[in-house]
Amino acid sequence: MTKIENGSDTTTNVHEYFESIKGNHAALRQFFTAMPKGGDVHNHLTGSAYAETYFELAAKKGMYVNPETGRLYAQKPMEVETIQLSKDMDDLHNHRMALIDKWSIRNFQPYKYPLGPDEYFFGTFGLLSALTGNVENLAYLMRELKLRAVKENVQYLEVMATSPSVPADCFLGEDDYKTYDEQLKACVKKGDYDAARVLLTDIIGKFDDNATKAVSDYVDFVGHLDELSNPSKNHLGVDTNNLVCRYQGYSSRGGEPLKVFAQLYVVHKACAEESNNLLVGCNIVAAENGEKSMLYYRLHMEMFAALATKFPKVPTSLHAGELTLGLGRPEHLTYHIRQAVNTAKAHRIGHGVDLPFEQDSDELLKVMKKNEIPVEINLTSNEFILGVKDAEHPISLYRKAEVPLMLCTDDPGILRTSLTEQYTLAALRYGFSYGEMKEFAFNAISYSFLTATEREKLSTQLNDLFTEFEEKF
């Protein structure tokens, strides 16, 4: 962990001012807007761009939308009633406002939506998928993230941008796919994870032989995305060239097991081989209470364990414990973080909300402290998707146990929030001191997946920025 250095007199002044505004929401927002915040290491590209940006891009491309559902179409569908988006369309304002509501949580009314807030949130991504599969469009969204980061005094972004494409047979051939699929599912049904581990090792050997092009294509795609998202001139008058941006690859835990494993393999292999250090880690995403997510959770953790043996230098951050009562049976809340830490050997945990329900949670906290496994805290996300906020949130338990913490945004576009607001909420709700808030900012650099040299460089820069910030008080 990077040592935080400051001048004592200046620091005292900042502490005193911070304590004087702790209960003032507006004053805290003003304070944290100006404060350097290190990095945001847990954010999903397609959920981070605001709905206004999606509308702007969709209208620019003349895409079609079903006004009832909000689903976008690249071409006019025959079987669905749609309207074509344009900046010159009739009733532009009302159409735009209605779609912003459908593409974000703005004006969400739970009793008018047939499912829960979690289903509403995760369903939003499908509405926009016709736009987000294109590298140029993703780069358009990335430019928004970079612009916002600079405006918010954020120095580093670690973005979950895209997952790799894999063939239907997952590099195995039709016959082997069918055999391995049946065998893995039989292992899960029996709870025989010793046999599953043997199978996973065998499958990795097949991937080694057949996934070379997919790995190369994925590396090229991420490189192209990064290149396109770096305009040659300042974007909207803001210089984003000094912002450091890296990418995590991922798989969706809602897919078939072999597809999940194939995607995780491609990401690990790409991270190990990619020479520009743009791809820095691997993750697994999507709702943890989904049918396949729950059924194959232990298997997914075993996949990460097998890949950690094959690619020991590739860092992993796992969405784990993004659950609470009501989203599953109580017994399903007892093991997600623990298996991510102990089985998958995750380097960071995303969310970690079900901690109070975990078996042997005190021992788990000790392991996380000892091994410096930080938690990526997403307050607004946890409040909307899970209904967990204030004293229900385990952030204070992690802090008391001295587990490293970082404040992150998750999906600020859909959630209509920002990193500044996450810092503001943390101070308002949990009474953290200025020193603690400053520590969270440094943690985002210290526990990033950058190289040691890059972390040291950014930490030094961040310390200088804090010195400049504190001199104003």
pLDDT at position 214: 97
CA–CA gap between residue 143 and residue 229 (Å, rounded): 5
Phi, psi of 63 (to 5 degrees): -75, 165
The reply to whether 44 and 59 lie within a common domain is no
In 3D space, the residue among 217, 226, 317, 311 whose CA is nearest the CA of residue 272 turns out to be 311
What spatial distance separates the first Cα and last Cα of the chain, rounded to whole Å?
27
- 19 residue type, one letter: E
The reply to whether 23 and 115 lie within a common domain is no
pLDDT at position 419: 98
pLDDT at position 82: 96
* Pairing relationship of beta strands 64-65 and 72-73 according to DSSP bridges: antiparallel
Q: Looking at the domain assignment, is residue 240 inside a domain?
A: yes
Cβ density class 420-447: b for 16+ within 10 Å, e for less = bbbbbbbbbbeebebeebbbbbbbbbbb
The reply to whether 298 and 188 lie within a common domain is yes
Q: What residue has token string 């659950």?
A: 323
pLDDT at position 8: 57
* Pairing relationship of beta strands 83-84 and 64-65 according to DSSP bridges: antiparallel
Q: Looking at the domain assignment, is residue 259 inside a domain?
A: yes
The reply to whether 424 and 439 lie within a common domain is yes
Domain termination site, one of 107, 125, 143: 125
Q: How far is CA 97 from the centre of its chain?
A: 27
**The two structure tokens encoding residue 164:** 């790799």
Domain termination site, one of 104, 125, 146: 125
pLDDT at position 112: 78
pLDDT at position 118: 93
The reply to whether 117 and 218 lie within a common domain is no
**The two structure tokens encoding residue 469:** 């910030």
pLDDT at position 275: 84
In 3D space, the residue among 303, 385, 386 whose CA is nearest the CA of residue 346 turns out to be 303
CA–CA gap between residue 330 and residue 306 (Å, rounded): 29
The reply to whether 59 and 166 lie within a common domain is no
Q: Looking at the domain assignment, is residue 60 inside a domain?
A: yes
Q: Looking at the domain assignment, is residue 75 inside a domain?
A: yes
Q: Looking at the domain assignment, is residue 419 inside a domain?
A: yes
Beta-carbon count within 10 A of 99 CB: 22
The reply to whether 57 and 44 lie within a common domain is no
The reply to whether 380 and 258 lie within a common domain is yes
Q: How many domains does the chain have?
A: 2
Q: Looking at the domain assignment, is residue 3 inside a domain?
A: no
**Residue ranges of the chain whose pLDDT lies below 70:** 1-9, 232-237
Q: What residue has token string 């911070």?
A: 18
The reply to whether 100 and 222 lie within a common domain is no
CATH of the domain at 156: 3.20.20.140
The reply to whether 117 and 262 lie within a common domain is no
The reply to whether 230 and 266 lie within a common domain is yes
- 104 residue type, one letter: S
List the beta strands (DSSP E) in 22-137. 39-44, 64-65, 72-73, 83-84
The reply to whether 115 and 150 lie within a common domain is no
Domain termination site, one of 86, 106, 125: 125
Determine the structural domain holding residue 300 and report its residue range. 8-48+134-470
Compute the residue count for the chain. 473
Q: Looking at the domain assignment, is residue 1 inside a domain?
A: no
Q: Looking at the domain assignment, is residue 2 inside a domain?
A: no
